[in-house]
Amino acid sequence: MEESMDDYVKTLETQLENKLVFLKQSRDSLKRLRQEYKTDGEPQEIDPEVWKLFMRKPVMYVEKSDPIGLSLADVNISLQNETSIEWMELMDYHHDTLQQTINTQKNLNKDLTTLITLLEQGDSGNQDMVQSIPVTSSSLRQNERLRNSLRLFTQHVLCENTDDIATVTSMIDRLIRYDPSLSVADFLSSHSTERLYRLLVKASLLETVSVSDNTDSFVKMIDFTDNDLS
């Protein structure tokens, strides 16, 4: 196999050298032909019949095996194969990334559905019943999943700029803790917090408290244990 490859390479090198010689001969012939058709140093148009006579005799003969053409075809096919493999690997990566995004979105939708169900079921009980529910490991896991979903929602949906993630997360924590000092002005610190405020207002999840001697209004989450959520 190695000897066959060496013979092929030598044949290819010989053919390339021959092509260079033939190319030089062709250029020299054209140069002489143009020199013959110069008048007072100015090139003249060559008679078409002269061109026919000139082209009648081939300057070179291509071998039937055409090793140069086969080599170029082989290189071209190899390059196309490499490019196709790279493209397929890239598509596989995008597919995996998209699948991860879909799975994350499914989990987020599932958690949001659970949250909505719990809120809707709140009308069937009272605050005392809610307070008497024991905190179990499953409740803690569910709370952790909701926290993770909220974190992913904050990172991938709310925050266009990664620098705003910490600010938005802090704002959400203050809402959950019912921070009495949280005001509308606090949501104007970045575009992402403004989006959070508009989203919560549109979902009717915020209450604003106006103070007579203050131009700003304080903000708090609605009471989810209240039977009247209208």
- Tell me the two tokens of residue 19: 């092509």
Same domain for 155 and 80: no
Same domain for 154 and 83: no
Is residue 181 in some structural domain? yes
* HEC sequence for the chain: CHHHHHHHHHHHHHHHHHHHHHHHHHHHHHHHHHHHCEECCEECCCCHHHHHHHHHCCCCCCCCCCHHHHHHHHHHHHHHHHHHHHHHHHHHHHHHHHHHHHHHHHHHHHHHHHHHHHHHHHHHCCHHHHHHCCCCHHHHHHHHHHHHHHHHHHHHHHCCCHHHHHHHHHHHHHHHCCCCCCEHHHHHHCHHHHHHHHHHHHCCCEEEEECCCCCCEEEEECCCCCCCCC
Is residue 153 in some structural domain? yes
> Quick one: pLDDT at residue 152?
78
Is residue 163 in some structural domain? yes
Same domain for 84 and 154: no
Is residue 201 in some structural domain? yes
Domain count for the chain, please give it.
Answer: 2
Is residue 121 in some structural domain? no
Same domain for 6 and 82: yes
Q: pLDDT digits over 54-72, tens only?
A: 677 665 666 666 777 777 7
Same domain for 86 and 8: yes
pLDDT in tens, the chain (230 residues): 567 777 777 877 888 888 888 888 878 877 877 777 666 666 667 677 777 776 776 656 666 667 777 777 788 888 888 888 888 888 888 888 888 888 888 887 887 777 777 666 654 544 444 444 455 566 677 777 777 777 777 777 777 677 788 888 888 888 888 888 888 888 888 888 888 888 888 888 888 888 766 677 888 888 766 655 45
Is residue 114 in some structural domain? no
- Provide the whole-model pTM: 0.37
> Quick one: pLDDT at residue 121?
62
Q: pLDDT digits over 123-172, tens only?
A: 454 444 444 445 556 667 777 777 777 777 777 777 767 778 888 888 88
Same domain for 164 and 84: no
Same domain for 220 and 151: yes
Same domain for 83 and 149: no
Beta-bridge partners for 208: 219
Same domain for 150 and 220: yes
- The CATH number given to whatever domain includes residue 186 is 1.10.10
Is residue 131 in some structural domain? no
Exposure on the CB side of residue 53, measured as CA atoms within 13 A: 6
Single residue among 26, 57, 90 that ends a domain in this structure:
90
Q: Range of 179's domain?
A: 143-230
Same domain for 77 and 9: yes
Contact 195, 158 (CB under 8 A): yes
Is residue 46 in some structural domain? yes
